[in-house]
Amino acid sequence: MRYLDVCRYGVASEAQLQTCTPRMQTLMREAIRRAPRWLDWAVLCGWRNEADQNEAFRTGRSKKRWPDGDHNVYPSRAVDIRPVQRFVAKDWNDVARFARTVGFIECVSIDLDIPIRLGLDWNGDGRTIDETFKDLGHIEEA
């Protein structure tokens, strides 16, 4: 298996990424460029408008109301991603699958010296078991 240049963002992911800060765009583009095909992911959300943010809060997908989230500044300091390969509804709860993906992105962020915070480990202590709210695909600039 070839590990470089095997993944690319689709049109929808690219459109979401365009709403993000230049640093977030750099990180996410370099991460996808380095990713092996089996780790491919899509960018679901960059910037989030007021109606979408409040809906995310109402449905429990966010703990913040508009305009308090990192998705709510323009350009966005945050992205939400999800794995692509054979992804089905029950996979939204697959902590290990998301951890592999965001952990890979975290390694690239270290290489690029772009500090991030993960919705899988909000306090950055390396443990996920202590988190009361897990936003598995959330990545934000720290």
Residues 40, 85 contacting (CB under 8 angstroms): yes
User: Per residue in 40-98, pLDDT tens?
Assistant: 999 999 999 999 999 999 999 999 999 999 999 999 999 999 999 889 999 999 999 99
pTM as predicted:
0.93
Q: What is the mean pLDDT of residues 122-138?
A: 95
* Measured CA distances, 55 to 24, 59, 61, 118 (Å): 24, 6, 8, 21
CATH number of the domain at 11-141, please? 3.30.1380.10
User: Per residue in 105-120, pLDDT tens?
Assistant: 999 999 999 999 999 9
Q: What is the mean pLDDT of the chain?
A: 94
pLDDT of residue 6: 66
> With helix as H, strand as E and coil as C, how does the chain read?
CCCCCCCCCCHHHHHHHCCECHHHHHHHHHHHHHCCHHHCEEEEECCCCHHHHHHHHHCCCCCCCCCCCCCCCCCECEEEEEECCCCCHHHHHCHHHHHHHHHHHHHHHHHHCCCEEECCECCCCCCCCCCCCCCCCEEEEC
pLDDT of residue 61: 94
pLDDT of residue 1: 45
pLDDT of residue 113: 98
The pLDDT confidence band at residue 7, using thresholds 50, 70 and 90, is confident
List the chain domain ranges: 11-141
